[in-house]
Each structure stands twice: as C-alpha cells, then as structure tokens.
Amino acid sequence: MCVKCKAAKPSVTIRRILYCKQCFVRASVVKFRAAIAKSRKRVDWPRTKVLVAFSGGAASSALLKLTADLQRMERKGTDAEPPFTAAVVGHIDESCLFPGDQENVIRAIAAETDLDYNSLALEDAFAPEEGRAAPLSPRAHTQTS
C-alpha cells in the first residue's frame, strides 16, 4: 500500500518506502519546487537564467519537464513572474560516437517544452578557437617502470 495515499498499489520504491505513481510524481514536483524556492533566497532572482542539461535519458527528461512546467505555471501574488528570466535546453550531440538519429529525437522532445534549445556537436566542444589551443588537447603519455 502507498505510504502517502494509503489506498493505491505501490509502483515506486525509494529507500524502502513504497509510493503509487501518482503520489510519487506529486512528491517529486513538491520537492523540486521547494528546492527552487530555497535557492531564490540565495541569488539575485530576477536576473537568473537556467540551463537544463539534456541527454535524452530518464533523469534529464524529468528535470526538463519539471523546469518547463514551473516556467509556464500560472502564478498569483508575489510569485506572479516565472522563476527564471530564461530557461534553455542544452545538449551535447554525441552522434559522432553513437551513429543514429538521436539528435532529431532529442530536438523533438525539447521542442515540446517551448524552451530555447542549444546543441553542440561533441567534436566542436574540443575544437580549438581562433588563437587558443583546444581545451583538452591529446597528449602523449609515457609510462615509467
């Protein structure tokens, strides 16, 4: 039996605590919003932007959905403005390592959120900029025995 609603059959177990899906989702949203509200006290909030790193996996998909929902949620009173001045989805395209159409799938998922989307090819992340060496240049490693 779900520890929260005491009625539904549990489908999620966290630290040996059983939740039904509905109660787990509700608890996750509440914890996410509480964490954001707590951080509001630490920064100059109206000028805050957020980058959501998005791999396409389950955890980053959940974070992306929570952030997007929080941005477009209707507010009243002192919380009448969205929590972030801008929220951007960031993705490192690894298609040079893992061929496939994953980039288009990730772009489509991100498009559903109505947030700005920025993608960088993995090989471009290591390309030298004009006048600078590559951030992680290959080095010859020698072993001493």
Chain segment 101-123, per-residue pLDDT in tens:
788 888 888 889 888 999 988 88
Cα separation, 93 vs 124, in Å, equals 10
Global pTM value: 0.71
Beta bridge partners of 130: none
Q: Which residues of the chain have pLDDT under 50?
A: 134-145
Looking at residue 39, its pLDDT comes to: 77
DSSP 3-state assignment of 102?
Answer: helix
